[in-house]
Every structure is written in structure tokens, then in C-alpha cells.
Structure 1
Amino acid sequence: MEEGEFSNIEDELENVKKGDTILHLNYKGLKSLPPCLLTDICYRNLKIIYAKRNRLMCLPEYLNQLFNLVELYLPSNNIKTIPDGICDLRNLESLNLCDNELNHLPAVIGKLKKLQKLQVSVNKLKCLLSCIGDLCNLKTLELMRNDLSTLPVSLCQCERLETLNLDYNRLTTLPRHFWRLTSLSELSVCGNNLINLPQTFASKGSSSNLRCLFVDKNPALHVLPLSLIHVDIGNFQSCRRNDPLGVLPGAVELVVPYKEILVPIVMPPEVRNITTPWKSVPSLQELGLRATGALRSKFMDFKDFDEMLDSLPCNLKSLLLDPTAFCQSCLQEVYVSALPEVVLDQSIFYLGFCCSVKCAVQISLMYSTNFGINIVYPLCMPVI
């Protein structure tokens, strides 16, 4: 520690000794937090530390001495790691580490049960650990401008999450399990490599709380889920610039003729078979999954049924617990085989799935009669 490094914050420290619960350290040129915070009992009542735009490279290990902290505001520093001791800040509600040098979050961060706001934008995060799902009170999560290519399924356990910002990462898909985020009202995924969006944004046909979805600058995104047709989606015209065909190996790819061009439609990766009005019988695998899903809904509280699910391959169990889509009409769960329905509204294509021709006809009539929206039907032709 350099001589006199903390001489310019003596007034701020003295204010805390006199009873102030907020420590203001923004723009002080600090390389570390004052050691006295952890050794002097006078600082035990601190609730908020503001330390924006300093030169901090790390945080002290024994942060548990500041057990009354509610907010840590540390953006625009050079912090590379977060000590495990942060897990002892059991009253922490807001943690801002934007514009630092983090390449990972510690596994213990899931122990911050009171955390409501986590802001780690403009860092070097390549992945999120599954512990993120343990933040049961999280309402705001900001992850923009990192290096994320996937998201853990456990994120969908944060059922109180209201705002999620994932702008400018490397995401190609989002987990279909997003239907569990029933409190989510704003999602921003601008500037990624998204090819499609989950068909399960609206849980069981519910409109959910989602009000704003920002998808600007995803060049390979050509179609949106039908359940989002009345959601504010920002500037979709900045999408649809590149041809996504072939970018998801093994995915079912279709095209829709529109104004002398072919609009590419990439199915969710779980969909293996597309049915059509002239060949509307679902595959045997689809029928089996639907029957099992119906039993799951009926006997979900029975231990024996849970044990039966545990005996299935992991991919099948996961699919049964979180279907690919819900029928736009009857809400039947859809797994690997479905009848797609493409809706055109104000030059934007929306994709939904129906479980049968009967449901597809009902949805077509509803949109054309009640909303005056065009149904692109016959739907599409497969790409060979």
C-alpha cells in the first residue's frame, strides 16, 4: 500500500464513524479498499459502498466483516476475481461490477439469497455457472458485452427475474426453459447471433408478463415466436440480413416464399419432424411423448412416476419437463413433431406450432377474422 493512499478519503471515513451508513469512494484513484473497513468495528454498520472508477484489482477476502452491506457499487475498476468471502454478505441486495476484468463468477455467489440486482456487464465472462439459479430473489440481471455463447438452464429457476439484458454476446439460441420465467417483463438480446427464439416464452398459452423484447442486430433471426406477436420487439428490421440456412447442423429448415424471395425459417433444434395438412399424423415418438407428458401432469406428485422419469435418457426427461412448444390453440404440449403455422404481420413473420389440423384451422380463423392478420398457408416447403 502506497504511503498516504487513503489520505484523500479521511473525511468520508470519519462520516461513517459518526453514523453515516453510506461510504462515498467514487473517483478516488484507490488501488484497494481501506483495510480499516475490515478491522475497525466502527464500520460494521456500513450498508452501501460506492467506489466507481478507481483502480481496484481485487476485493479483500474477509468481506464478511461488513455483514450489514446492502449494496456494493464497484463499476469501472480493474477487478479480475471476486473472493469466496462475498458469500457471507447475506444482506446484500445489489452488486454492480460492470466494466471490470472478470472472466468468471464464483460458485458461492448463489448463496446471496437476498440479492435482487446483479450487474456484470462489460466484462470477459465466457460462461455462467449453474449456481446462478440459486439466486431466488434476483429481479435484475445485466450481462451485456461479455463473451457468453450459452446460458445455463438453471437460470430459469430465477422465477422472480423481471429484467434480463444479454446484449452483445455470442448467443445463438436461448433455453426453451424460459417459459418458467413468468415474472420476466423485459428481455434484451440485441447484437447476438440468434437464429431462433424459444417457442415457450408464453407459459401454457398465458401472455406472461413479457412486455418488451429487444432483438435488434441479430442478422440470422428471420422469424419470431407467434406468442410474441403483441409484444414490443424494437427494431426488427436490423435483423434478417444473412441467410441462416445450414448454421444449425441437423436442424429442420424451411422456407416461405415472400415478395419474390425465400424467407428462411429455422425450426427449434428439438423439432425433428414437420407435419402438413396433407400428412398430419404426428410421429410415433411424438405421440409417445404426449402420452407420457399427460401422465406426468396427472401423476406428477407420485414418487413412482418420478422414478420412472429418472430412468429415461437425460434428453428425453428434459424434453418431457420442458416441452419445445405449446399448441397455439389447445395448449397441448409439443415435443419433436408439429404442424407449423406462419403468420405475417406488418412484414414480420411469426412462427407457431399446432398439434393438429383442427387447431391450425382455428388459429388461422382467429388471426384473420379478429386481427386481420395474414396467415401464410400452405405454410412452407422443406429445404433439401
Structure 2
Amino acid sequence: MEQADFSNIKDELENAKKGDTILHLNYKGLKNLPPCLLYDICYRNLKTIYAKRNLLTCLPDNLNQLSSLVEIYMPSNNIKAIPDGICNLTKLESLNLCDNELTQLPADIGRLGNLQKLQVSVNKLASLPSSIGQLRYLKTLELMRNDLSTLPISLCRCESLMTLNLDYNRLTSLPRHFWRLTSLTELSVCGNNLITLPQTFANKGLGSLRFLLVDKNPALHVLPISLIHIDTGNFQSCRQRNPLGVLPGVVELVVPYKETSVPIVMPPEIRDITAPWNSIPSLQELGLRTTGALRSRFSDPKEFLALLDSLPCTLKSLLLDPTALCQFCLQEVYVSALPLLVFNKSVFYLGFCCSVKCAVQICLTYSTNFGMDIVYPLYMPVI
């Protein structure tokens, strides 16, 4: 086997051996990392490895020997896999493997307990491991230009996450559970196949959200009403394709507005809609609202969770993370509600109300106070 030549990085290795904690290996044409890094204890104090734009195809299994590593910066290589051993680098704060050939992340990536920045854009990731939700200090997650069609619900447990980039994947929707990302300030989902967005965005806990960029999602025609005061980027680049019939089993509407029609795809959790002239919610909806209201009666949240354990998983999930909140009274909405469509500055916004009474109040608020058009319901009786 041809022995690798590391003569062009002799000075860099010597500096690191003498105590330099940063190893500069960018643009060196390396096919492998020098083995001495892993076997010579003189390198155990290394904190940062810069190895951008080399010819690396893999990382050594025992990379965790460099137990002091805080940052790994290796974009623009040909790395096809991340060894499981990297999950033992408990001091690691930043991992940048953008523009490589990764098809998956380590199943135990959640063990990187101090990781604050994970950048794996421009790879071939089709899924994310559920353990990613254990990265409680993660602040930046970059997943642009991969092959993701779904996201794990566990991602909503990354309570410190501030920036999430999902541009140019294959997503058709986002988990409604994302309302739990209370530190999130910027979310970019441009260039996907989004048809709906969660109604709970910026409504229940996302007080920090300032930007939700949705450019170039051709089947996205309506935004949640909770985003009406949030920068959503170039929404005019959306609405290029009819979204109806794409997601089997969801409730769909076509609402006339002036000389056009607005195609609306309800959140997948909504089973039926309540019309103003028939405003009684379904029995399942009433049961869920009654059960959800019990939460306030328990001083210990674990007691409420124990109560939900007796329910089917889908109902338990709904009660923990409702589909929407009533736009007026903030009553939790689960599987049926009265939809409300608002037109403002050439954008249609969809919201839900729990009753006709609340819908009337919202109509008055938006039309009287803000001069916006209430498009749907088409008929609202006076109460």
C-alpha cells in the first residue's frame, strides 16, 4: 500500500507538537489525516483542526483520542461517513462537514453534549437520528441542500436552537411540535416542497422568531395567521403550483376571492372544518378540549402525562402539541375548528377559531383595526 506523504504539513505538525492548540491543514491535498495525531500524546491538547478542501474520504475511527477537540472544520472534502467514535468527543462545540458525501449522521450524535454548532449542508442526508434532540446546547443547525423529506419530532427538544437552515431539501411540511423551539430566531425553509406550515409558529412559545424565510416553495399558497407580523422573505416566489390532491387524506378548500380562487390545504391533523352556520365541533374535538383543559388541575405535570399514557399515541401527541390555538381566546384546537382566511398586502393568512363568537371578534379586529380583508368564512351571523 502506498504510504501517505505528509511532508507538506511538517511545520504545522511540529507547531502542534510544541503546544499550538490549532492545527491548520486547509488546502493541503490530504487524503488522510496524519496517523501521528492519534498515537502521539503530544497532540492530545489540540482543540481545533482546520482541514478545508482536501481529499479526505473518511475520518479515523479513533478520532476520539483527541479528547480536547472543541472544533472540527472539514468542509469541501469527500467524507462519506462520520465514525461513531466521534460521539465521545464530549468537549466538541462546533462540527462543520458541509459539502461532503455524508448519507447519515451517527445514531448517537446526541452524546455530543456540548455541541453548539452543527453544519452539514450540501451532503446526501435523507434522515436525521432521533438522538439529535439531546443536543440541548445546540444553537446553530445547518442542513441546506440535503435529501430530507421529514424531520424527527425530537428536534423540538433542542431548546437552545436559534438558527435552523433547511433550504433546498424535499420537505412538504414541518412538525407542529416546533412551537417548543422557544429560542429560535431564524428559520429558513426556502426551495422545498412545503404545502402547509404549522399553525403554532410564533403563537404559543416562539416569541423569539423574527424571520421565517419561505421563498421558492411553489405549492405554498397560505401562511399561518400567526406569521402576519414576521418577515417571511419573498412569498411572491411561492404559489406557482396547485397544492390540492398532493397530500392524500387532508381537508382541502377552494375559497373564491374577487376574481381568483385560493386553494387551501388544512394542517394534516385537521379532520373536518366547522362552518359558521353549523358551529358545533365534532365529538372528538370536544373530548380533546375537555381532556386538555384538565392540565391546569394538576400541580405536577407528570401526573397529567400519566393520565395521557392510557390514550392512543396519536391522541396523546395531539394533547401535548395541539394543532393550533384559537386566534381570539387561545383555546387549544385539535382536529376540527372554524377556519379564517385574512388577506393582507397580497398574502393570504390562515387561522382557526374555536367558535363563531371568537371568529366574529377576530373579524372585527382585523377588518376594523387593521383594515384587512376577511375572506373566509364567507358568511358570519351576527351574535
TM-score if structure 1 supplies the norm length? 0.96
Q: Match of 1:172?
A: 172
**Contact map agreement 2:181 2:206 (CA 8 A) in 1:** no
**Contact map agreement 2:257 2:375 (CA 8 A) in 1:** no
Q: Match of 1:143?
A: 143
- The Cα shift of 1:286 comes to 0.5
Q: Which amino acid aligns with 1:317?
A: K
Q: Match of 1:96?
A: 96
Q: Match of 2:333?
A: 334
Q: Which amino acid aligns with 2:22?
A: I
- The Cα shift of 1:39 comes to 1.0
Match status 1:233 vs 2:236: no
Q: How does 1:77-88 map to 2 (within 5 A)?
A: 77-88=77-88
Identity %: 78
**Contact map agreement 1:87 1:108 (CA 8 A) in 2:** yes
Whole-angstrom CA distance in 2 between matches of 1:297 and 1:366: 29
Secondary structure at the residue paired with 1:339? Answer: strand
Whole-angstrom CA distance in 2 between matches of 1:307 and 1:99: 45
Secondary structure at the residue paired with 1:64? Answer: helix
Q: Which amino acid aligns with 2:160?
A: R
Q: Match of 1:371?
A: 370
**Contact map agreement 2:184 2:206 (CA 8 A) in 1:** no
Q: Match of 1:128?
A: 128
Secondary structure at the residue paired with 1:319? Answer: helix
Match status 1:356 vs 2:352: no
Whole-angstrom CA distance in 1 between matches of 2:281 and 2:333: 10
Q: Which amino acid aligns with 1:10?
A: K
CA distance 1:139–1:317, shift in 2 (3 Å):
same
Whole-angstrom CA distance in 1 between matches of 2:183 and 2:40: 42
Q: Match of 1:59?
A: 59
Whole-angstrom CA distance in 1 between matches of 2:173 and 2:302: 34
Unaligned runs of at least 5 residues, structure 1? none
Q: How does 1:134-283 map to 2 (within 5 A)?
A: 134-204=134-204, 208-283=207-282
Whole-angstrom CA distance in 2 between matches of 1:136 and 1:8: 40
- The Cα shift of 1:305 comes to 4.0
Range with bigger deviation, 304-313 or 183-192:
304-313
Secondary structure at the residue paired with 1:107? Answer: coil
- The Cα shift of 1:248 comes to 1.1
CA distance 1:310–1:69, shift in 2 (3 Å):
same
- The Cα shift of 1:41 comes to 1.4
Q: Which amino acid aligns with 1:41?
A: I
Q: Match of 1:70?
A: 70
Whole-angstrom CA distance in 1 between matches of 2:331 and 2:132: 31
Whole-angstrom CA distance in 1 between matches of 2:119 and 2:302: 40
- The Cα shift of 1:303 comes to 5.3
Q: What does the per-residue CA deviation read over 1:334-380, in whole Å, with 9 as the maximum and x for residues that have no partner?
A: 00010111110111000011111111111122222332222214349
Range with bigger deviation, 12-21 or 103-112:
12-21
Q: Which amino acid aligns with 2:182?
A: T
CA distance 1:207–1:91, shift in 2 (3 Å):
closer
Q: Which amino acid aligns with 1:156?
A: C
Q: Match of 1:19?
A: 19
CA distance 1:168–1:113, shift in 2 (3 Å):
same
Q: Match of 1:109?
A: 109
TM-score if structure 2 supplies the norm length? 0.96
Match status 1:325 vs 2:331: no
Whole-angstrom CA distance in 1 between matches of 2:324 and 2:278: 20
Whole-angstrom CA distance in 2 between matches of 1:89 and 1:249: 44
Whole-angstrom CA distance in 1 between matches of 2:129 and 2:181: 18
- The Cα shift of 1:3 comes to 4.2
Whole-angstrom CA distance in 1 between matches of 2:161 and 2:302: 30
Q: Which amino acid aligns with 1:351?
A: L
- The Cα shift of 1:203 comes to 4.3
**Contact map agreement 2:13 2:23 (CA 8 A) in 1:** yes
- The Cα shift of 1:285 comes to 0.7
Whole-angstrom CA distance in 1 between matches of 2:158 and 2:248: 31
- The Cα shift of 1:297 comes to 3.5
Secondary structure at the residue paired with 1:122? Answer: coil
Q: Match of 1:309?
A: 308
Q: Which amino acid aligns with 1:324?
A: T
- The Cα shift of 1:207 comes to 5.7
- The Cα shift of 1:2 comes to 4.2
Whole-angstrom CA distance in 2 between matches of 1:248 and 1:19: 58
Whole-angstrom CA distance in 2 between matches of 1:27 and 1:297: 59
Q: What does the per-residue CA deviation read over 1:106-159, in whole Å, with 9 as the maximum and x for residues that have no partner?
A: 112110010000011111111111111011110100111111110000000001
**Contact map agreement 2:64 2:89 (CA 8 A) in 1:** yes
Whole-angstrom CA distance in 2 between matches of 1:366 and 1:130: 42
Secondary structure at the residue paired with 2:137? Answer: coil
Q: What does the per-residue CA deviation read over 1:154-201, in whole Å, with 9 as the maximum and x for residues that have no partner?
A: 000001110011111111010010100111111111111100000011
Whole-angstrom CA distance in 1 between matches of 2:47 and 2:378: 58
Unaligned runs of at least 5 residues, structure 2? none
Whole-angstrom CA distance in 2 between matches of 1:207 and 1:374: 26
